Structure 1
Amino acid sequence: MAETVHLSERTPQVTAEELLEGFHPSYRFGEVSFDTYIPDPAHPSQAQAVQRLRDFAASMGGTGGAGGAGGFLSGLFGGKKKSSRGSGAQPNGIYLDGGFGVGKTHLLASLWHAAPGPKAFGTFVEYTNLVGALSFRRTVDILKEYRLVCIDEFELDDPGDTVLMSRLMRELADAGVKLAATSNTLPGSLGEGRFAAVDFKREIQVLSEQFEVLKVDGEDYRHRGLAKAPEPLADHELMAVATQNFPEAQVISDDRFSDLTANLSRVHPSRYRELVKDIDVMVLHEVQTITEQAMALRFVVLADRLYDKDVPVVASGTAFDQLFTEEMMNGGYMKKYFRTVSRMTALVREGQTGETEGA
């Protein structure tokens, strides 16, 4: 029988070592490789990107095979790598530009697996949270010993965070660290699919000439728009549905939405991975529309961690396509909120029907 826990009562403590050990591709991309990426013959840029990334990994001494985590301890004791700057043979950074649904995260994770350690892989938000947890200088001092830093879903919707990340990347590049990034391509409107490379290069300013842009063309399967969220269940049947649909689950979290969000305001977002690390199924009672921007942004981080772990969600209350206010869904952070609604909808569908859908 599954153990029931309450996330609203947890206050996880995470060391610097534990934070950094989490900087690797998520469960969904834990075993991908260049070989498992199947290029579309109709879009030659996909095969070209694979080959270029293979070369980029090889320039660091990579073998093209799966790599270890290469985390904090190897960064400290593995010896500082030789700087590859000034060689002229390879750029310092790679930027994957393309619409969503073309496999940019798959390619970025494949590069991470193929490259030698020490190395880090995380989303833009995870790196900004890392700086918040450790301080900017300590983050630089640790990551500058790495050979490769991969930044998925680089976001330009917060000027302060963009300047922070541009500065971080500049200091890492000066230390000889190779960089690779994708952009957050969720559209400003559902009819748009590309996040222009020119915007990325403008915002990272002095680093722009060090990045080689790889175009990854392809069909954008999300142009359909957001899928409708499943109807919420009755509150009294949540636990029964969770245990029936997932009889092998060992740990089920059971919280009122208001209690969970209250706890999120007390726990630093860098600890959310630890908060949910052992959860197999999430049960949420009385979901409500979030009306405060600060809480909405914290829930975005939680949703990403749940999605990384593929945690099914069983919920009552408001449907997840109404999780954020209309003003939020049309405001400056709309890309984050569209992503969260899409991901939570997928997890709720899995939790309440047993069906799964793509990222």
Structure 2
Amino acid sequence: MTPRLSDRTPQVAPEALVDQMVPPPMFDDVSFDSYIPAPDEPSQAEAVEAGRDFVKRAQKARSGKRGLFGKKQASTGVGLYLDGGFGVGKTHLLASIYHAMPAPKAFATFVEVTHVVGALGFANAVERLSDHSVLCIDEFELDDPGDTMLVSRLLAELTEAGVSIAATSNTLPGQLGEGRFAAQDFLREIRKLSSVFETVRVDGPDYRHRDLPPAPEPRTTEELTELAESTPGATLDDFDALSEHLATLHPSKYKDLIEGVTLVCISDVHPAADQSIALRFVVLADRLYDANIPVTVSGSKLDEIFTEEMLSGGYRKKYLRATSRLLALSRSADTSDRAG
């Protein structure tokens, strides 16, 4: 019988969460040099230079200044905020910053940072991170005021301890006004840090969809089952059963949930019944994308999970990012199957 994700119940010790704050495997070897700016998008080349400059300033801040009695103390951390659309390489640049900084250092999505603070407690999280040279936060989000203020308070304390902060955020392509507004909201929310952050715009089309066809057609139930059974390391889950199982797990465990999986097969996919289900699939999509695990389905297409009503609401950017990533993973599965 093909293994199911819904049969897995991973256990993650809170103390291990900080150690897991590293870039996704696909960004293990990236650098500023390996980022290729689009010739017709000058903001991309400017973002590379901004990233290099941030590293220099952050390293200087961490090396500190002479205090009383000649003892070195860390200077206030510096900040960089990369604001742009989906798939323009912001995560590549953020991971490049991470790799260029000395250890200890941390890299996590905004959601993962909130999970770490929740699991460790605020004071413990500050203590564990305050000796880091940099905290890189991917996909900073503004749709939950409580989480945003929590992280804002965390960043304020960390920068005072000399930790520099680099962050990214998504803006819908073609909606530059909305992008600038999001950046200003970010700076306003972390008002204590507003004078520290440099905001840099990164424009361009989503590389995941350049010259690509639309979402692959779903497979039949029989085709999906046969593929799962013939693929070592594959899992096969019913959409509703997987949705129910995800509700029983803290999202910080989703990374361990898919550990060692080579292909995720989901049968009877259909539009999510409510926002809670949809948001859990957003987190799962992020972890699958980070691990570069192909996804293939039966039922509805993967770009039909999030309803028009959901896409018109406050979580629009999350859903569009997840759809972009799921389609990339489904094309990967489709290509691999044809190659095989």
The bucket for the TM-score relative to the shorter chain is 0.7 to 0.9
Structure 1 residue aligned with 2:257? 275
Structure 1: distance between partners of 2:47 and 2:246: 39
Q: 1:195 to 1:352 in 2, by over 3 A?
A: same
* 1:277 Cα offset (Å): 1.2
Alignment partner of 1:152 is 2:150: no
Query: Which secondary structure state, in structure 1, belongs to the residue aligned with residue 195 of structure 2?
Result: helix
Structure 2 residue aligned with 1:265? 247
Structure 2: distance between partners of 1:215 and 1:355: 38
Q: Could you state the TM-score of these two structures normalised by the residue count of structure 2?
A: 0.86
* 1:199 Cα offset (Å): 2.6
Out of 331, 334, 338, the residue aligned to residue 349 of structure 1 is 331
Structure 2 residue aligned with 1:195? 179
Q: List aligned pairs for 1:61-210, cutoff 5 A.
A: 61=59, 82-85=73-76, 92-185=78-171, 187=172, 191-193=174-176, 195-196=179-180, 197-210=183-196
Alignment partner of 1:212 is 2:198: yes
Query: Which secondary structure state, in structure 2, belongs to the residue aligned with residue 141 of structure 1?
Result: helix
Structure 2 residue aligned with 1:65? none
Q: How many residue pairs end up in the alignment?
A: 324
* 1:345 Cα offset (Å): 1.8
Indicate if the aligned counterparts of 2:35 and 2:92 stay in contact, CA closer than 8 A: yes
* 1:56 Cα offset (Å): 2.8
Seq. identity, %: 52
Q: Residue deviations 1:313-353, cap 9 Å, x none?
A: 12111221210222111111111111112211222222234
Query: Which secondary structure state, in structure 2, belongs to the residue aligned with residue 23 of structure 1?
Result: coil
Q: Residue deviations 1:16-54, cap 9 Å, x none?
A: 343223211112212100110123454444334323322
Q: Residue deviations 1:140-191, cap 9 Å, x none?
A: 2211121110011111122122111111111111211111111122x2xx64
Structure 2: distance between partners of 1:207 and 1:227: 43
* 1:221 Cα offset (Å): 5.6
Structure 2: distance between partners of 1:102 and 1:355: 28
Alignment partner of 1:230 is 2:221: no
Indicate if the aligned counterparts of 1:58 and 1:115 stay in contact, CA closer than 8 A: no
Structure 2: distance between partners of 1:149 and 1:118: 10
Q: 1:349 to 1:217 in 2, by over 3 A?
A: closer
Q: 1:303 to 1:220 in 2, by over 3 A?
A: closer
Out of 289, 305, 327, the residue aligned to residue 323 of structure 1 is 305
Query: Which secondary structure state, in structure 1, belongs to the residue aligned with residue 306 of structure 2?
Result: coil
Indicate if the aligned counterparts of 1:24 and 1:121 stay in contact, CA closer than 8 A: yes
1:181 partner letter: A
* 1:11 Cα offset (Å): 1.0
Q: Where do 5+ consecutive residues of structure 2 fail to align? A: 61-71
Structure 2: distance between partners of 1:205 and 1:129: 22
Structure 1 residue aligned with 2:279? 297
Provide the aligned C-alpha RMSD in A. 2.7
Q: 1:149 to 1:221 in 2, by over 3 A?
A: same
2:320 partner letter: F
Indicate if the aligned counterparts of 2:272 and 2:278 stay in contact, CA closer than 8 A: yes
Q: 1:177 to 1:341 in 2, by over 3 A?
A: same
Structure 1 residue aligned with 2:65? none
Indicate if the aligned counterparts of 1:33 and 1:109 stay in contact, CA closer than 8 A: yes
Q: List aligned pairs for 1:36-55, cutoff 5 A.
A: 36-55=34-53
Structure 1 residue aligned with 2:237? 255
* 1:99 Cα offset (Å): 3.5
Q: Where do 5+ consecutive residues of structure 1 fail to align? A: 63-80, 86-90
1:84 partner letter: S
1:12 partner letter: P
2:137 partner letter: I
Query: Which secondary structure state, in structure 1, belongs to the residue aligned with residue 179 of structure 2?
Result: coil
Q: Could you state the TM-score of these two structures normalised by the residue count of structure 1?
A: 0.82
Q: Residue deviations 1:89-142, cap 9 Å, x none?
A: xx6111123334432211111010010010111111111122222222222221
2:310 partner letter: M
2:288 partner letter: L
